[in-house]
Every structure is written in structure tokens, then in C-alpha cells.
Chains A and B, each alone.
Chain A
């Protein structure tokens, strides 16, 4: 592997749909473009097996030479980003086999395309072995060809449940049922917004419907998994209880049914990975799905100069939207770097087309988010020993005590008083649950505080100490 650059014109963090598209456009003027990704292979969460050809660009429109000029470094995780005068400095740690390798890259323009992680909510038994994030199961299958279990219950909300189901059955696994907490009639409310793009995607929907039919997989809407059981206390999954639920996802008494399964997947949408953007203090908003998203202007620029964002970081919207946003960000990166009028100007027809496509895809994403909302009030009504924080093993009772008896009014105080969110994952798994347990509506300030992780990945102290001497 070639030596990692210390400087570049455009640094792209994330080699998913957004990051790769951005990198390709950003390299247009002969800019030195560097792409970093924590994974072993480029492609992001969608293309788990890696990407061979330039993706996301119509055939014949890409130029192999330009791709060759983009330096891609896999197996590096960016853990910190700071402004340094006119530059942005991003700090990287080597992969799990090279945790002592630290490196810093200074860049003139930064594009953050770090994607998202499955959003989770605490449910009794969700810490048992055999329970997996829906996306996690998907990436296990796509990336390694291994099934998450023999017989799986796919649960949560949103069309992504169908993608998980398809992946499992196509890999030869069995899906006991798909448990969708929302009611499809919600889709009708947002039909107008869903229409144009929805038609484009209807092929996909038909494919999923065919898979469900062929494998006789029940698709239960308005149902939610309420308990996950094992043979004994901490044992792996043996069964799961599903209830019919109301609009707020509260279980309806007497509607329980049990599925014998050895795997349950959970997926309640996605949470954007904003570590670097929050460290840089970029402005953020709550998007339609209730999650935090970084604010960007028409050209994907954040509130911090020279810092752009694309893909799920700007609001969860799927792979196609990510690719379009990435292209716009890459074009804008070139524009920011351009000092003489000589270099290539973006073709205004191309730009208009990209803006329009992005607009359609965003409206579609928003309508989907509104059709598949994730309410949280029910979380507090579960049994007290439900584990809220998996890392520090903090129970629901402990969190409610902090809220009701100890004066904790926000997620930060709950964390300080209970340790929920202080463990290995730094709140990545429990923050949506904890926000939902706080009194009152979730504020952006509170979400920003939860998403601000000063160090994105653990680093050995010895390596940190040496860094000072360098």
C-alpha cells in the first residue's frame, strides 16, 4: 500500500455511494483527491462486496484515468476533525489489526460521507445473542455470505425490512415473518409525495412482494416485537413475542403471538453518523424521521466553510439520493478550489438535472419517513429490567429513576447519572431510546450533544502519547 498522503485538495471520508460519487466529480480539475474508509472494501453499506467500475454514473460518462488519480485508502477510520486556519485536519486510526497506526491528513476541502447505522430501540431481550440490527444482518450476508440465523423474524419498520428479508431468503435462510409496526394506510396519506419516485421504485416493491409470496412469508403490519426470549436468563434467542399495536406502537392486550426463531432482526430506520461533523460544530436539524441530520445548502455545503456533506449524513434517504448528493458535493468541491476561470465549469444542464433528481429523491425520502414513523412513548412502559444501554448494562428502571427522582431533564444528565451512553459504543445504540425517555420533545441541542463524540474510535494511549512527539 502506498504511503498515506499528509495533504490533499479534497478529502472524502466514506467510500459509499455518496463518497465515491463526490470523489469522482472532485477529481475533475486534476485536484488531489483522497478517499478514506474504515471498511476493507469500497462500496459503503449498499455495495458490500466492493465496487469494480465507477458506480452511479451513466455508462460512458466516466473516465478511467480520473478514477485512477483518486487515492483510496481502505481500513482507516477517521476519529477526529478540526479546523486549522484554511485547512481541515482529519485524524485517522488504522484498522483493527493496526490500531497503533495514527495519521493526520490536512485538506483544503472536506467531504463527509460517513453514512448511517441502524437506529435501535430497547426491547426486552434485545441484548441476547441472535438479535441483530437489520442492516447488520444484511451486511453479514452480503459481505461474508453467512446467515444470521436459521429461522429469522424480521422486525421494525420501513421498506428496509423487505430488503433484509430478500437478502435472507436469497441466501437460503428462512424468514418466519416480517413484523412491520406501522400501518400501510399511512402510505396513502403521503401518496402524492411518494408517487413519481415511488413508481420508479415500484419494480423493487414488486420484487419484494414476489419473494414474500413465493416463500409464504407472513407480512404483519401494525405489529411489533415486544419481547425476545431465550431458554434461560442470558441465553441466545429461542422465541419472540409479537403484539398487534396501536398508532403509538402500544401493544393491544390479548393480541400476543409467539414465533419460534433463533434470530430476530431489529430496524427502526437509520441514524446518520455525524461524529466528525459535530466535532466541527456544523449546524444540524431534526429531519422527518426524527433523527439528526447536518444542514447543507443547495451545493451540499455545511455551515462550516470548506466542509461539505453528502449521503445519509444530510438526512437518511437511501443509496440513490446519496449518489446524487455526492456528485453535487464533488462538483462544489471543485468550484471551491478553482482560482482561475480556466478550469472546467459545471455544465448548467447537468447541475439542473442533479438538483431536480435530488429534489425528487428527498421528497420521496421525506414521505417514506412520515409513512414509517418511529414513536418512542411506549419504550418507558416496558418491563423495568429492559436493558437500555447494552454496553454499561443500564436498565430502564435506572434511567426512569434518574429522570423522575434525580432531576435529570435531558440525555446528558441521564448519561452522567446512569452511565447510559458512556460505554464502548458511546451511545450509538441507546441514544434514540434515551432521547425518547427524556421529558418533553427532543431538542436539536440535546441530539447534537449526544452525537458529539470527541474521539470517534478508541485509540491506544501509547499511540496517542507518541503522536505528541511527532
Chain B
């Protein structure tokens, strides 16, 4: 990973990540392990299946909720926001 780093904003905090990473990987590279809570138990969730099947890693990306963080590659300037379980506005 020798490519120059790119900057994304995670919960308002600018961080440098490698381009080509998934949004989930970007968050994990900053030490985050969970970025969403569940609807009933308000329990934290992060990356589980890693390939788009389990929907545990849902995150708010540029204002759009419920994005599967494992399936999107970061783009410079992305605003990534942790989210509650049944967000939709």
C-alpha cells in the first residue's frame, strides 16, 4: 500500500486512510470496532461477514443511512457517521 493516503471524515474527525480500502476497513484501521447499534438491544455492531451478506456493518455514508461499509471503497472526502439501528432520516 504505497499509494498516497486520502482523507475521510469519521464522526467529524478527519483521518488518513489508504485509497482502495473499504469503508469498513478504513474505520477499523482507526481502531473502531463497532459503528452501529441494534434496534432492540442497542448493542454495538461492526464488521462480521465482510462480504455484504450480514448487514451488520451498516453505516451512514455522506448522509445516506444503512450503507454496507464492507462493500464500498473509500473516496476522498467521504463523511462516515456511526448510526443507530433503525435510522432513516
Q: Which residues of A contact B (CB under 8 A)?
A: 38-40, 45, 77, 95-97, 99, 117-118, 127, 129-133, 135-140, 143-146, 148, 233-236, 273, 390-393, 423-425, 428-429, 458
Given contacts A146-B21, A429-B54, contact A140 B28 (CB under 8 A): yes
Q: Given A38-B52, A117-B53, A390-B56: A140 and B72 within 8 A (CB)?
A: no
CB–CB A393/B61 < 8 A: no
Tell me the chain B residues, 40-87 only, with Cβ under 8 Å from chain A.
40-56, 58, 61, 64, 66-68, 70-73
Q: Which residue of B lies closest to A149 (CB)?
A: B33
* Minimum CB–CB distance for B46 against chain A, Å: 4
* A contact residues around B40 at 8 Å (CB): 392-393
Report yes or no: A393 in contact with B22, Cβ–Cβ below 8 A.
no
Residue pair B47, A97 in contact (C-beta under 8 Å):
no
B8 within 8 Å of A by Cβ?
no
Chain A residue, CB-CB nearest to B38: A393
Main secondary structure of the interface of A (DSSP, over half): loop
Tell me the bound Cα distance from A453 to B42 in angstroms.
27
What number of residue pairs across chains A and B have CB atoms under 8 A from each other? 118
Chain A residue with minimal CB distance to B27? A146
**If A38-B71, A132-B47 touch, does A143 touch B22 (CB 8 Å cutoff)?**
yes
The answer to whether A425 touches B55, judged by C-beta atoms less than 8 angstroms apart, is: yes
Contacts of B18 in A (CB 8 A): 144-145
B10 touches A (CB below 8 Å): no
Given A137-B50, A146-B21, A391-B71 contact (CB < 8 Å): no
Query: Is the Cβ of B43 less than 8 Å from the Cβ of A393?
Result: yes
Shortest Cβ distance from B59 into chain A, in angstroms? 10
Q: How far is the CA of A131 from the CA of B51 in the complex (A)?
A: 15
Q: For the complex, give the distance between the alpha carbons of A148 and B1 in Å.
A: 17
Highest count of chain B CB atoms <10 Å: which of A77, A96, A423, A425 = A96
Whether B50 pairs with A390 at a CB distance below 8 angstroms is no
Instruction: Report yes or no: A234 in contact with B43, Cβ–Cβ below 8 A.
Output: yes
Specify which chain A residues have a CB less than 8 angstroms from the CB of B43 in the assembled complex: 127, 233-234, 393
B51 lies within 8 A of A144 (CB): no
Distance A100 CA – B67 CA, assembled complex (angstroms): 13
Question: Are B58's CB and A95's CB within 8 A?
Answer: no
- The A-contacting residues of B in range 1-56, CB under 8 angstroms, are 1, 18, 20-22, 24-26, 28-29, 33-34, 38-56
A97 in contact with B72 (CB, 8 Å): yes
Q: How far is the CA of A423 from the CA of B45 in the complex (A)?
A: 15
A129–B57 CA distance with the chains assembled, in angstroms: 10
Whether B67 and A96, one on each chain, are in contact in the complex, defined by CB atoms closer than 8 angstroms, is yes
Which residues of chain B are near A130, meaning CB under 8 Å?
Answer: 33, 46
In the complex with contacts A393-B38, A393-B40, A425-B47 CB distance below 8 A: no
Nearest opposing residue in chain A for B29, CB measure: A146
Query: What is the CA–CA distance of A40 and B52 in the complex, to the nearest angstrom?
Result: 12
In whole angstroms, how far apart are the Cα atoms of A132 and B48 in the complex?
4
Q: Is the CB–CB distance between A135 and B55 below 8 Å?
A: no
Cross-chain contact B25 with A39 (CB below 8 angstroms): no
B59 to A, closest residue via Cβ:
A96
Q: Which chain A positions have C-beta within 8 A of B44?
A: 129, 234-236
Residue from B42, B48, B66 with most neighbouring chain A CB atoms (10 Å): B48
Contact A139 B54 (CB under 8 A): no
Q: Chain B residue with minimal CB distance to A136?
A: B50
Q: How close is B60's CB to chain A, nearest CB, in angstroms?
A: 12
Within the complex, the shortest CB–CB distance from B37 to chain A, in Å, comes to: 9
Q: How far is the CB of B76 from chain A (nearest CB, A)?
A: 14
* A118 neighbours in B (Cβ, 8 Å): 49
- How far apart are B78's CB and chain A's nearest CB, in angstroms? 10
- For B45, what are the chain A residues with a Cβ–Cβ distance below 8 Å? 127, 129, 390
Given A129-B44, A140-B47, A234-B43, decide whether A425 and B54 contact each other with a Cβ distance below 8 A: yes
Query: With A130-B33, A135-B50, A236-B33 in contact, is A391–B22 under 8 Å at CB?
Result: no
In the complex, besides A136-B51, A428-B54, 17 extra interface pairs with C-beta distance below 8 angstroms are: A96-B61, A99-B64, A117-B51, A129-B46, A132-B47, A136-B48, A139-B51, A144-B24, A145-B1, A148-B47, A234-B41, A234-B43, A234-B44, A235-B44, A392-B40, A425-B54, A429-B49
